[in-house]
Amino acid sequence: MTTIYNFSAGPAVLPKEVLQQAAAEMLDWHGSGMSVMEMSHRGPEFMSIIAAAQSDLRELLAVPDNYKILFLQGGGLGENAIVPMNLMGRKPQPAIADFIHTGSWTAKSIKEAQKYGKVNVAASAEANGHTVIPSRDSWTLSKDAAYVHLCTNETIDGVEYHFAPDVSADTGDAPIVADMSSHILSRVIDVAKYGVIFGGAQKNIGPAGLTIVIVREDLLGHALPICPSAFDWKIVADNDSMYNTPPTYAIYIAGLVFQWLKRQGGVAAMEQKNIAKAQLLYDYLDASDFYVNRVAKDCRSRMNIPFFLRDESLNTEFLTQAKQHGLLQLKGHKAVGGMRASIYNAMPIEGVQALVSFMKEFARAHT
């Protein structure tokens, strides 16, 4: 049987061990006689699951004590509204938020934030077709912004920050809000450089339906009056993410993924594997006349690698043959076309090796 490798951008591949464990525990979690899906979120069984998930995530990302970890719903796009509703109230109204426009996901964030305050696009790579991250010295930040929004890995455009910017010199006390949906837990980060980190779970963490928010405590308690209570970070934090029913099964799977990550050696070990995987594919793309990736080398994503066949009339054949070789979901996002290989934590290097071998063979057969 052909080994399957799933390159979906999300919902995405999960570690096989995690899926096997979840299958084994599906009908009877730890002798409780219940599936996790059937448990009260306030019962001792689920309370132990969420507590372990939270403390494992804190350990994996070395989250400092003055940050809360929240398990929410609403996804990355939900946070595009939830962030301004929670932070615009830090400043006199109408407040302003700064955005670094790096691609498709920041474009959506900018549009949504405009409903809740003013927006300053402090830098944009739109003119470069989002193939670079604007350098920090080109950012024109506001003096008194409520926050500065970044997307540290643009899932569609394939650009990633390889630096953690400092904005304090320009903005005073504006916290950085980072959308890390598509690379959280893929690399070591210094959480203290950010005021808020958020991400949908469905790429590197677990099933869709869970959103992680890591927020510095002094940023709680500034929600606009219109903010729904279930999305007011202070209310959620004060209730240990149990203000409303949390996405229990997604939290359980996320917890299994966190345990798996710890067994792999944690985020630092995972980062080394991710560097090796990405390099394998980029090295081949750069050496090839048949395929191309247009992102500047120092801004390339290790997680989402868009590439194009120079002869785009071969796209359908490429995808059909890739599927026959067990290489699934390589079609690029409709906004950019071409192909995209998403190689999250759960993608083994063997998957990238199989992809490169197939790409070589396909190129040889068509030149």
Which residue is associated with the tokens 């951008």?
9
Least separation in angstroms between CB 182 and ligand PMP:
4
Query: Catalytic annotation on 29?
Result: no
**Nearer residue to ligand PMP within complex by CB, 241 or 259:** 241
The type of residue at 176 is I
Q: Which residue is listed with tokens 């190129």?
A: 363
Active site residue 143: no
Q: Phi and psi for 337 in degrees, rounded to 5?
A: 75, -165
For tokens 């040889």, the residue is 364
Q: Find the shortest distance in angstroms from Cβ 40 to ligand PMP.
A: 26
Q: Which is nearer to ligand PMP, 84 or 200 (CB)?
A: 200
Residues found near ligand PMP in the complex (CB under 6 A): 10, 75-78, 105, 151, 155, 179, 181-182, 200
Catalytic residue among 29, 105, 233, 260: 105
> Which one, 259 or 329, has the nearer CB to ligand PMP?
329
- Tell me how far, at minimum, the Cβ of 92 lies from ligand PMP, in Å: 29
Return the closest-CA partner of residue 52 out of 269, 258, 267: 258
The gap between the terminal CA atoms of the chain, to the nearest Å, is 29
Closest approach, Cβ 362 to ligand PMP, in A, equals: 27
CB of 48 to ligand PMP, least distance (A): 27
Helical H segments across the chain, by residue range = 16-24, 44-61, 75-87, 104-113, 168-171, 233-238, 248-263, 266-287, 315-324, 349-365
Active-site option among 68, 91, 203, 331: 203
Report DSSP state, residue 133: P
* Given 56, 179, 232, 233, the catalytic residue: 179
CA-wise closest residue to 241 among 250, 231, 253, 249? 231
CA distances from 77 to 52, 93, 169 (A): 27, 23, 29
Q: Is 91 a catalytic residue?
A: no
* Residue 153 or 259 having the CB closest to ligand PMP: 153
Which is nearer to ligand PMP, 171 or 301 (by Cβ)? 301
- How far, in Å, CA of 147 to CA of 84, rounded? 9
Residues 167, 173, 177, 183: is their CA dihedral positive or negative? positive
Residues annotated catalytic, as ranges = 105, 179, 203
